[in-house]
A and B are shown apart, each in its own frame.
Chain A
């Protein structure tokens, strides 16, 4: 299965600190997407990075992709209490075009 593995499963930090989450996968991908999910809500798309890209930015978010290591990371800089949520990576495999989500990282940012 192409299911990704997020690391760590849980992360607790203070406001203002940076948060880094990692995602590893098994086979080749077309693209990898990061989503945020607040408690009791649906997922919200954050960033899509294609297999031929190495880094993308959006505001305080930075995503990197290393296809040789089959891994991606999401960095949230200067975190805020409002960033408290679960973060998921989703892989779109090269052949199947079926999105597969990891188990997620639960981030808690203390004010």
Chain B
């Protein structure tokens, strides 16, 4: 079984620029998660999708972050404009059916804001 794929692995941008991350979950997994992980901390959930619907986005800074999961498969997370405090690793995860089952994580995108 192929794992969760994320790209790019690394991204360096200047503040106020925009950036997008892509995630391809494990085939057949209905639930997809985007997390932000700041160095030395645990992952913080940004948004959770069930198929192509949003389950929770209460911790997504909606003035600058957006995410979509068209057709209930791949997902993109966008930041526009980026701030210095957005420097972090952005992790995508998927699970078969909801958070009461194990999550499978990609290796993340490490974002550095200059």
**Residue A97 contacts which of B4, B55, B58 (CB distance < 8 angstroms)?**
B55
Instruction: Name the distance in Å between A43's Cβ and chain B's nearest Cβ.
Output: 4
A90–B91 alpha-carbon span in the complex (Å): 15
Chain B interface size band reads 20 to 34
CB-CB < 8 A to B43: which residues of A? Answer: 43, 88, 101
Do A98 and B99 touch (CB < 8 A)? Answer: yes
Chain A interface size band reads 20 to 34
Per-residue contact bits, chain A 38-53, to B (CB 8 Å; 1 contact, 0 not)? 0011111100100000
A36–B45 alpha-carbon span in the complex (Å): 17
Interface residues of B (CB under 8 A from A): 4, 33, 35, 40-45, 48, 55-56, 58, 91, 93, 98-108
In the complex where A43-B43, A92-B99, A104-B42 touch, is A98 in contact with B48 (Cβ < 8 A)?
A: yes
In the complex where A30-B100, A48-B101, A92-B99 touch, is A42 in contact with B4 (Cβ < 8 A)?
A: yes
**Residue B42 contacts which of A33, A92, A98, A103 (CB distance < 8 angstroms)?**
A103
A68 within 8 A of B: no
Do B45 and A99 touch (CB < 8 A)? Answer: yes
Instruction: Name the distance in Å between A76's Cβ and chain B's nearest Cβ.
Output: 18
A3–B43 alpha-carbon span in the complex (Å): 11
In the complex where A42-B91, A43-B91, A88-B42 touch, is A33 in contact with B107 (Cβ < 8 A)?
A: no
A-B residue pairs, 5 tightest by C-beta: A42-B105, A101-B42, A45-B102, A43-B105, A99-B99
CB-CB < 8 A to B41: which residues of A? Answer: 103-104
A42–B91 alpha-carbon span in the complex (Å): 7
CB-CB < 8 A to B42: which residues of A? Answer: 3, 88, 101-104
